Structure 1
Amino acid sequence: MKIPVSIPAETFKIRAIDMVVFFFILVILSFVIYIASQWSTPYDRTVEINLNPSNIPAYAIQSLARIFSAYILSLLFSIWYGYTASRSKLHEKIMIPLLDILQSIPVLSFLPGVVLAMIALFPGKRIGLELACVLLIFTGQVWNMTFSFYHSINTIPKELREVVKVFKMNKFSKFLRLDLPFSAIGLIWNSMMSVAGGWFFLMACEMFILEDKDFRLPGIGSYIQTAANQGNIECVIYGLGTMIVLIIILDLFVWRPLIVWSQRFRLESVPPEDERESFVLNLFSGSVFIKKFGEFISSTINKIEKLSYRKFAFSENTFINNLSKLLGIASLIVIFIAIIWALFKSSYLFLSVNLNDIITIIKASFYSLLRVSVALLIALAWTLPVGVYIGLNPKAAKILQGIVQIAASVPATAVFPVILLFLIKLGGGLDIGAIFLMLLGTQWYLLFNIIAGASAIPKDLIDISRAYGIKGFRRWKTLILPGIFPYLITGLITASGGAWNATIVSEYVSFGGEIIHTTGLGALISQSSASGNFGLLLFSTCFMSMIVVCINRFLWKRLFILAKNKYTLD
């Protein structure tokens, strides 16, 4: 006798959100195909930027591709460089001063070498100029992310390091389970700042003059620059409006979900009363496709982690080990020869600089140093209270986070006419106006790092301060300032470098077909780049680097050591 058995069939329900995810994947693929088709075309030196508003969507897509290509490159570089620099004292002594030097070099100083190298690699192809533009944006994005990651993994609490030793984790497991999670909050907030910085320097990267040759790429930055050069305020507003819409979309669909996700890495035993929320994250977390994809990624990472504990035969092979050492030595020799060759070639450029040029550089440096110092003090005065308020109040962050991103992304030169007209009425012109333009490019480094620091203060410490009635100045002295101090120093270091970088667009501005400039090192570098005076450009850049490195070595490094030794959560 057969007994009928009813076995329920396994059903796979496709939800509406899965259809939305599938649509997004199709949009991204279409986006990639469109960009690839644009980049593979021959480069047309006579290309004109059409100010017809109907061209704005195509320009915006191309600028977005450059921004995020540079961001991905910046993220990978930041993690590699920060991790490598923290591995040993020798690495730290070499790589951190080098990072100080690289951070201090303005975008326009990278321009001649990067553009000429890419054009030589891809002659007559648009991809050469596209890669040059991406690399220039990269130089404006990467340094604050690198400093953030390096400082985060150097301020990990001692007890967490002890846990790693107790569980006998290898380097890869420590990196995966401790370094990356602990640095996540700071890295995400600095990523937001980096992308905002990419928008800020977009005008200088998509459209520039090198040795009297005009280079331009179709994009929202070149659109705004062309409109500004023609004095077309209406088109400048169209371009800025499009940029603001893109920033709002990115905030809703990328940064806000990432910030909410990163809160799981806070060091606290008590969950916060007001959790940060993201409608997009809540919506997409219900997708079966995303859950399956997340499980696949997690299992793949776990398998790689298990493999990292195995000892392979080639790792113990003497020949392989000797070969790797020889390759390392050979690489160092090649780098050393390249440095010697570069110094030899640059010596001819240095010889073209006379005594009057040196006096001009010293005088210009004094004025720029004064403007940078004033800009940093003004920035610190308002970003400290506002950043702490946003970081400690999730409800306020929901409203203010998007506003801050928009404000941080607006290029200084795009709003220059309004600022200049205002300052002309007050008196002072660009001498004072450069400080306000500099503020637009540097204050956000401080604000984003302070927000990240306040967000990372453990909830139980906040509750204890409330329970003991600690308020006002005492609360700032005992809880807030010690809690955000490592982040504050990171912000000051990157803001200082960012202020010097911003001098090139603050002290030398093109608007309405006219060049307006003031005495300063940034103006000198911009003038040298536009006229093709590479000797003066190199000398001015080296002098700026020397100033920034000295400030970092004698001021910021000492404060960072204080933060590392006294203000970590041990």
Structure 2
Amino acid sequence: MSAPRLTPGRASLSVRVARRMAEFSWVDIVVAAAVLVGLYVVVRVGAGTTVSFVPSRVTSIDTRPARLPYYAARSLLRMFTALGLSLVFTLVWAYAAAHSRRLERVLIPALDILQSVPILGFLTILVTGFVALFPHSLFGLECASVVAIFTSQAWNMTFAFYHSLITVPREMDELSRSMGFSRWMRFWKIELPSGAINLVWNGMMSFGGGWFFLVASELISVSNRHYVLPGVGSYAGAAIADGDLTRVGWAIVTMTVMVVGVNFCFWRPLVAWAERFKVEQAEAVHVQRSLVLDFLRRSHWPRALGRLLRPAREAAGRAGRVFGVDDRPLQDGVRRRAGDVVFALVVCGLVGWGVLNLLGYLHGRMGLGVFGRPLLLGLATLARVVVLVTVATLVWVPIGVKIGFSPRLTRIAQPMVQILASFPANFLFPLATWFFLRTGLSLNIGGILLMALGAQWYILFNAIAGAMAIPTDLREAMDDLGVRGWQRWRRLIIPGIFPAYVTGGITASGGAWNASIVSEIVTFGGTTLTATGLGAYIAHATEHGDYPKILAGIAVMALYVVGLNRLVWRRLYRLAEKRYSL
């Protein structure tokens, strides 16, 4: 009996499969095992988000240190879920605002307002809504917590990507049009790569902002009712409320391990990978490196995944070519102006209707005089914000430029800055309370230091990102010409980092207003310090469920933030777009 014979097609297929199987090494086994372990942890931890829950029953947190690994996993799951939502929101919102003149007039001011609404303002509505939507399940509270963390992450990323889109080099845009790129192709080939460095660094900063509000999103007090979610933030909040410094120390250690681990395994590889999108004509001598990224590049799984997803990418490209629309401006100026008028009337009508309803509600409950006290308190918080942004600019911009120009220094400084930027102010309340009481320093001044813990890092991270984005050939040209000192700053550094700095300034300003909520009232054990300001007003109203005061405080804060952005930051945005885009 003769042996079966393989056809040439089957033989070649077998040879290809055998060759690809032979290419796999121990690196691929380690990567596959790490992915499987990660998926297992997500499934196990995620199972705890759907347990039964009774809103009327006061829950508590188990503060045994042995529970911290599980709490850390729960907090990380919330943080990365919120980061994913923030990324999707950023790409859609920023793209729409950058490519539609009419939508830009609505979306960017709306972003200013959303950025100004404090986290507690969102929580007041979110908790009530999600608990009613998912009755008797902890999933409702989990959704409220994730969306609250999302509100601390999304605005910064959206501002950064929007500014990258409106400052895309003109020659790149003209090249894409001359080559007949559809909107889809132009987005993936030109616009997203040009904003990759800023998006990664601001995503890192937004992640740190999420850590900052972790306690507020896991240990929720609304309308004299307390809700607790298992997590490092709620653990730290419970330890602070009990005045247990030992367990506060355990929470700080856990937070440090989490921040360093996330930085090493996630952000550091992204920073090194984003270097490929740097626009320059000369190759840098020192580039960003990551052990995790180098390890992944040795694996065959990324290439195998790319081959697996190739049909989906090709289908998306074909869809982009089919549905791509030419976005050249209309030639008929009369029709365009008429459309602008109709659009403005519709938007103004909707906004006016909402404002009138708000004023009617407040007038019926407490009268319009409810705005008087928040307006005066807002001036005190405004003064703190101005001082914070000014000092942070003078201190952190030179440091950020130094870090951004040195990849070696970046490898050392990035984890340290990430840890400092990620520490919630609540974790330092025991030390802050002790310091203020011992020195007699009023919280009216000391509150600026606590607000800085959540706001100054936006300026530092954007200064680093702006410095890293300056092409190496421009820096080498300055070196060859012997340009040093102030002339180097005036000719190269300030123009190079100015667009990124404006993004950092506007988000630092909004972050400072948000941080005032947790920085103008400091509690540790039985001691409470209160500053005079709008943040303390809103926090006190939220704790007691006083909805008219909450709405009045949030409306006044939005008024201050939008006014500051319109008068200062928007003008700087236009200046950066016209004069300082590379």
TM-score with structure 2 setting the length: 0.90
Aligned to 2:273: 261
Instruction: Report the alpha carbon displacement of residue 497 of structure 1 after superposing the two structures with TM.
Output: 0.4
Could you tell me how far apart the structure 1 residues matched to 2:527 and 2:40 are?
Answer: 40
2:36 is equivalent to residue 26 of structure 1: yes
**What corresponds to 1:156 in structure 2?**
168
Q: What is residue 250 of structure 2 aligned with on the other side?
A: 238
Structure 1 residue 311: Cα displacement: 6.5
The partner residue of 1:352 within 347, 365, 373 is 365
1:560 aligns with 2:573: yes
Counterparts of 2:186 and 2:369 in 1: how far apart (Å)?
A: 55
Query: What does residue 430 of structure 1 align with?
Result: 443
Provide the residue aligned with 1:35 in structure 2: 45
CA distance in 2, matches of 1:339, 1:285: 55
Q: Which residue of 2 aligns with 1:498?
A: 511
The answer for the alignment partner of 2:229 in structure 1 is 217
Measured in 2, the distance between the counterparts of 1:341 and 1:400 equals 47
Following superposition of structure 1 onto structure 2, how do residues 179-190 of structure 1 map, counting pairs within 5 Å?
Answer: 179-190=191-202
> What secondary structure does 2:161 align onto?
helix
Whether the aligned pair in 1 keeps the contact of 2:370 and 2:552 (CA below 8 Å) is: no
Secondary structure in 1 matching 2:322: coil
- C-alpha contact 1:137 1:202 (8 A) present in aligned 2: yes
Match status 1:166 vs 2:171: no
Alignment of 1:17 onto 2:17: no
Which segment drifts farther, 117-126 or 10-19?
A: 10-19
SS in 2 for 1:285: helix
Q: How many residues align structurally?
A: 547
Cα root mean square deviation, aligned? 2.3
1:445 aligns with 2:458: yes
How far apart, in 1, do the equivalents of 2:293 and 2:262 lie?
13
Using the TM superposition, give the Cα deviation of residue 34 of structure 1 relative to its aligned residue in structure 2, in angstroms: 1.5
Q: Which moved more, 1:288-297 or 1:133-142?
A: 288-297
Deviation at 1:493, TM superposition (A): 0.4
Deviations 1:217-267 (A, max 9, x none): 111000000001111111111011111101111111111111111011111
SS at match of 2:528: strand
* In structure 2, distance between residues paired with 1:365 and 1:341: 23
Alpha-carbon shift at residue 521 of structure 1 (Å): 0.1
Residue type of the alignment partner of 1:457: I
User: 1:16, CA displacement in angstroms?
Assistant: 1.2
Q: Using the TM superposition, name which of 292-301 and 427-436 deviates more.
A: 292-301
Partner of 2:105: 93
Q: For 1:39-50, what aligned pairs fall within 5 Å after superposition? A: 39-44=49-54, 45-50=57-62
1:370 aligns with 2:380: no
Establish whether residue 118 from structure 1 lines up as the match of residue 106 from structure 2: no
- Between the aligned partners of 1:357 and 1:342, the Cα distance in structure 2 is 15
Q: Which whole-Å CA distance do the structure 1 matches of 2:275 and 2:538 have between them?
A: 42
Partner of 2:321 in structure 1? 309
In structure 1, the partner of 2:150 is 138
SS of the residue corresponding to residue 539 of structure 1 reads: helix
Deviations 1:285-316 (A, max 9, x none): 1111222113333553234213322369xxxx
- Give the deviation of 1:432 after TM superposition: 1.4
Residues 141-196 of structure 1: CA distance to partner in whole angstroms, max 9, x if unpaired? Answer: 11000000100000111111111111110111111111110110000001101111
C-alpha change, 1:311 and 1:480, in structure 2 (3 Å) is closer
CA distance in 2, matches of 1:498, 1:152: 20
Which residue identity lines up with residue 494 of structure 1 in the other structure? T
SS for the counterpart of 1:272 is: coil
Aligned counterparts, 1:198-213, within 5 A: 198-213=210-225
Residue range with higher mean Cα deviation, 416-425 or 258-267? 416-425
Please list, as runs of the form range in 1=range in 2, the aligned pairs for 1:484-563 lying within 5 A after superposition.
Answer: 484-563=497-576
The residue matched to 1:387 in structure 2 has which SS?
Answer: helix
**Large movers: runs of 4+ above 6 Å:** 5-8, 332-339
Conservation of the 8 A alpha-carbon contact between 2:433 and 2:522: no
Question: Is the contact between residue 384 and residue 448 of structure 2 (CA under 8 Å) also seen in structure 1?
Answer: yes
1:197 aligned residue: 209
- The 3 A distance-change label for structure 1 pair 98 and 429 is same
> For residues 315 and 477 of structure 2, what CA distance do their matches in structure 1 show?
42
* Cα contact 2:79–2:149 (8 A) shared by 1: yes
Q: Give the match's secondary structure for 1:60.
A: helix
Q: Secondary structure at the match of 1:309?
A: helix
CA gap of 1:334–1:124, structure 2 versus 1, over 3 A, is: farther
Q: Please state if 1:413 is matched with 2:423.
A: no
Q: Find the aligned partners of 2:356 and 2:137 in 1 and give their Cα distance.
A: 30
Specify the SS of the correspondent of 1:478: helix
Matching residue's letter, 2:25: R
Within-5 A mapping of 1:74-93: 74-93=86-105
**What SS is found at the alignment partner of 1:415?**
helix
1:376 Cα deviation after fit: 1.1
Structure 1 residue runs without a partner (length 5+): 313-328
Between the aligned partners of 1:133 and 1:390, the Cα distance in structure 2 is 34
Query: How far 1:36 moved relative to its partner?
Result: 3.0
Q: Does 1:465 align with 2:478?
A: yes
Change (3 A) 1:366 1:307: closer
1:274-293 correspondence to structure 2 within 5 Å:
274-293=286-305
CA contact (8 A) 1:349 1:534 kept: no
CA distance, structure 1, for counterparts of residue 526 and residue 71 of structure 2 = 22
How far, CA to CA, are the matches of 2:481 and 2:350 in structure 1?
63
| Letter aligned with residue 301 of structure 1 | R
Among the aligned pairs, what percent are the same residue? 39
Q: Distance in 1 between matches of 2:293 and 2:29?
A: 16
Match of 1:482 in 2: 495
Q: Is the 8 A contact 1:350 1:535 kept in 2?
A: no
Ranges in structure 2 where 5+ consecutive residues have no aligned partner: 1-7, 325-341
Write out per-residue CA displacement over residues 544-566 of structure 1, whole angstroms, 9 at most, x where no aligned residue: 10011011011111111000000
Distance of 2:366 and 2:382 partners within structure 1: 22
How far the C-alpha of 1:345 sits from its partner, in A, is 6.3
359 and 169 in structure 1: CA distance in 2 versus 1, 3 angstrom threshold:
same
Per-residue CA deviations over 1:416-456 (Å, capped at 9, x if unaligned) read 22233233343323111100000000001111111110000
Q: What secondary structure does 1:269 align onto?
A: coil
CA distance in 1, matches of 2:110, 2:35: 40
Distance 2:75 2:526 in 1: 24
Check the 8 A contact 2:433/2:524 in 1, yes or no.
no
Q: 1:390 to 1:375 in 2, by over 3 A?
A: same
Provide the rounded CA distance (Å) in 1 between the counterparts of 2:481 and 2:395. Answer: 28
1:25 CA drift (Å): 1.8
2:411 is matched with which residue? 398
Q: Distance in 2 between matches of 1:292 and 1:207?
A: 43
Work out whether residues 429 and 523 of structure 2, in 8 Å CA contact, stay in contact via their aligned partners in 1: no
* Cα displacement string for residues 62-102 of structure 1 (whole angstroms, at most 9, x for unaligned residues): 11111111110011001100000111211111111111111
